[in-house]
Amino acid sequence: MIQSGQHIAVLESIDLSIGYQHPGRSPLVLSTHLNLNIGSGQVIGLLGPNGSGKSTLLRTLAGLQPTITGSIKILGQPIKSNQVRQTARMLSVVLTDKIDVRNLTVYQLVAMGRYPFTDWLGRGEDHGPERIMTALDQVRLQGYANRYFNELSDGEQQRTLLAKALVQDTALIILDEPTAHLDLPNRISIMRLLRTLADKTGKSILFSSHDLDLAVHTADHLWLLQNGGILIEGKPRDLMVGTAFEDTFRIGTSDVDQDSITDYFRSLRNSNIVM
C-alpha cells in the first residue's frame, strides 16, 4: 500500500533485459541490466544509432512485447504484455508507423483513446466528449473535430495521434519517433508541444528521436543507447561535457565517419547551442 506523501516513480524498470524471443531458440538480447526511472512531469529523450534497440526498448516499456528478464512498473504497478486494457489505463503510446484511416474524422479517431474506460458497447463514459475537445485544444487542433484524418497534413495527423494519447488520461505517454515524416517547422512545433504538455499537465513523456539538437533542447534527461546495449543517461548539458554522444554514435562506423561525428559535436559545443 502506498503511504501518503511517499514518492512513486511514474515508470521504473528493474534489472530489465530487452530483445526478442523465438520458440526453440535462445533469445536475441539487445540490452541488459536496465534500471530506468521517469519522474512525474519529466520529458525523457531516447537517442541512439539505428539498430541499437530504441524501438525495442520503447515497445518493451509500453508492454507491447515481453521482457527477456526483469520487470517494469508504472506508478508502482507491474505491467505485462498480455494485459492490454490494464496497461492502456496506465500509459499511452504513439508509434512511428503511419496509419491509413479512411472515413474517420479527427473526433472519431481521438475518441478511440477512451476505449480502456468503456465496455464493448462503448458504455461507461460520462465526460468523454469534453475530454476529447479538451485534448484537441491542447494540441492546437481547435476546429478540426469534423475534418477527415486522411485529409490532414503530416503535422496535423501527428497532433491528432497525440490528442488520442492525451484522452487516455495516463500518467505516461511514450512516442516512437514523433517527428518522423515531418518537415523542419513541424518537427520543431511537435517537440515544443511535448515540452508544453509536460509542463502544463504534469504528464511524463518518453520519446525516441533522431533529431539530436531538438531532443537536447526539449528533454530534461537523455537516454543514450549504444550499439551493444550500453545505455548512458543524464541531463543534456552534463552529457555534452564529456564524450558520451561521440561514444554512442561512433561505434561501428568507419574512421571517416568517426571524424565527421567528432567534428559535428565539437561544432555543436563551440556554438553554445546546448552549453
Burial 64-77 (b: 16+ CB within 10 A, else e): bbebbebebbbbee
Q: Does 162 fall in a domain?
A: yes
Q: How confident is the model at residue 81, as a pLDDT?
A: 66
pLDDT tens, 18-74? 999 888 889 999 999 999 999 999 999 999 999 999 999 999 999 999 999 999 999
Q: Which domain holds residue 114?
A: 11-234
Burial of 37 by CB count in 10 Å (0-12 exposed, 13-18 middle, 19+ buried)? middle
- Asked if residue 271 is part of any domain, the answer here is no
Q: Give domain status of residue 181, yes or no.
A: yes
**Residue 31 near residue 18, CB atoms below 8 Å:** yes
User: Contact, 11 vs 57, CB < 8 A?
Assistant: no
Q: Is residue 61 part of a domain?
A: yes
Residue 267 lies in a domain: no
What are the distances in angstroms from CA 246 to CA 51, 232, 239, 271, 272?
17, 12, 10, 17, 17
260 inside domain: no
| Number of domains, the chain | 1
CB 144 within 8 A of CB 136: yes
Residue 275 domain flag = no
Q: What is the pLDDT of residues 112-169, one digit of tens each?
A: 998 877 655 555 555 678 999 999 999 999 999 999 999 999 999 999 999 999 999 9
Model-level pTM? 0.89
Indicate whether 5 belongs to any domain. no
* 105 DSSP assignment: B
CATH number, domain containing residue 64: 3.40.50.300
pLDDT at 1: 34
